[in-house]
Amino acid sequence: MQQNLEPPSVENKQQDLEPPSAGNKQQDLEPPLCDDLCAIEIILETSVTEEKPFGKTETPDSDFNVISPKPSQFRAKFFPLATDKQWNSWRWQIQNSYTNFKTLSAILDISNIEDFDFLSKSRKLPLRITPYYASLLHDKPKDYALLKTVVPSKLELVVSPGEESDPLHEESMCPVNNLVRRYPDRVLMLSTGFCSVYCRYCTRSHMVLKDKKHYGVKAWENSIDYIRNNPQIRDVVISGGDPLTMPEKHVEFLLSSLRAMPHVEVIRLGTKVPMVLPQRITKTFVNMLKKYHPVYMSIHCTHPDEITPEVVEATKRLADAGVVMGSQTVLLQGVNDNVETIKELMHRLLKVRIKPYYLYQCDPIPGSSHFRTPVSKGLEIIQGLRGHTSGYAIPHYVIDTPGGGGKIPLLPEYYQGRDGEYVVMKNFEGKIYKYYDPIK
């Protein structure tokens, strides 16, 4: 291996974390993360068995310093004892996340969710929302777009034809555990099964359903050895789960291991953290990333309301550190399925130096039919963008094909066929034009 990590801290192991109190109580626990991450069990909805002061070594990491008015008001109401430093600490945010209906009902009107018990026992995907992201949902109507993406619904229990737990058949494309090789020159490394929020439409819901652990160094070693022994691999995506929920030294372990291989040209991090836990983007973290360029980041963004002052700061830090950012957005019914919302999102992303990259048709995981739009809706949105805004603002609309066929881009019918020696095309206004293109 490239690098030895410090031994796991005994005191960090086996922490039982309590869900956040809707009242005043703040947790000052070490994060649920250590070196031998396989050994960690984050037991939710149980009482705290061991309380520790916030580790001194962690406080210098909390150099995030933006709290906008809405999160600030939310903190004053629901976490009045939390200091700026705590609120701005990504570890504090993870430890104080909302993980059950009882605590969530104190901050949101979830009265339209009948039969909590049934839903709690039946649902496959865990509930987890950071206090920061919860502050964006508080006081919003039940059908608020961002709320629908992270708050469980009974509709998740409706399984429809064509849905399956691993629709992309990634498990059948793993030469070693947690490493997906769908294409010859690039691989997807599944580094963790933990996320700071759980999106209700998650393609990898089968992986993140335990909400309990990072995979750990031992599991990563197999993937790293495989990449080292396969020099045709030039591009590695580190995803999960969400790799940015891991401590710096673990992310650095992966980056340094990969960067030590001359054939690995590009490293990409797939994450939603900058949108839901912007406090994670500390100066320490971005300074670490700088050492391993070129580092790309594919950021999962859903809606223009996610681009808050906190996110502006986080993305500024990443862009200034030379991280090349692209967006990944899932097209979701009742959330972002119209031209205006997607256009506004893409414009805001460009302003924070994230290049719109993919607009995904929602994958058919079990219980996701209420999120899926007809494919014609995606085409309509692309048609509503092309020619009506700058090309930089237009993502590729793709279907990640069920069964493992990879991403297939879909375009409205601009190409109309041939007329003798001419190619016939339709422009964004629906007018027909011809291009001389003799057949040789």
Q: Which residues participate in catalysis according to the annotation? A: 182-183, 186, 195, 199, 202, 204, 363, 400, 407
Q: How far is the CB of 306 from ligand SF4 (least distance, A)?
A: 12
State how far the alpha carbon of 329 is from the alpha carbons of 18, 213, 271, 308, 384, in Å. Answer: 32, 26, 12, 17, 16
- Closest CB to ligand SF4 among residues 299, 393: 299
In eight-state DSSP terms, residue 304 is G
Q: Name the residue number minimizing CB distance to ligand SF4.
A: 202
Joined together, the tokens standing for residue 44 give 């939710």
Phi-psi region of 169 (alpha: psi -120 to 50; beta: other; left: phi over 0): left
Among 151, 199, 244, 281, binds ligand SF4 (CB under 6 A): 199
Instruction: Find the largest Cα–Cα distance for the chain.
Output: 78
Residue 213 binds ligand SF4 (CB under 6 A): no
> 131 - beta bridge partners?
none
CA distances from 244 to 61, 97, 272, 285 (A): 14, 16, 8, 10
Selected range binding ligand SF4 among 84-92, 178-186, 202-210, 303-311, rule: CB under 6 A: 202-210
Contact range with ligand SF4 by CB under 6 A, out of 96-104, 236-244, 307-315, 349-357? 236-244
Residue 300 C-beta: closest distance to ligand SF4, Å? 5
Cα–chain center distance at 288: 20
Q: How far apart are CA 216 and CA 211, in angstroms?
A: 14
CA distance 371 to 336: 10
Q: Is residue 75 within 8 Å of residue 107, measured between CB atoms?
A: no
Check binding of 138 to ligand SF4 (CB under 6 A): no
Q: Tell me how far, at minimum, the Cβ of 429 lies from ligand SF4, in Å.
A: 36
Least gap, CB of 208 to ligand SF4 (angstroms):
5
Minimal CA–CA distance to 412: which of 381, 434, 436, 440? 381
Length of the chain, please?
440
Question: Cβ 209 to ligand SF4, closest distance in Å?
Answer: 10
Q: How far is the CB of 254 from ligand SF4 (least distance, A)?
A: 16
* 250 binding ligand SF4? (CB under 6 A): no
What is the rounded distance in angstroms from the CA atom of residue 308 to the CA atom of residue 315? Answer: 11
Binding residue (CB under 6 A) for ligand SF4 from 127, 134, 208, 255:
208
Residues binding ligand SF4: what is the number (CB under 6 A)? 11
User: Does position 272 bind ligand SF4 by CB under 6 A?
Assistant: yes
280 to 319: interface string for ligand SF4, x by CB under 6 A: --------------------x-------------------
Closer residue to ligand SF4, CB minimum distance, 368 or 373: 368
Burial (CB count within 10 angstroms: exposed 0-12, middle 13-18, buried 19+), residue 105: middle
Binders of ligand SF4 in range 334-353 (CB under 6 A): none
Q: Give the one residue of 19, 241, 274, 278 binding ligand SF4; rule: CB under 6 A.
A: 241
Binding site for ligand SF4 (CB under 6 A): 195, 198-199, 202, 204, 208, 240-242, 272, 300
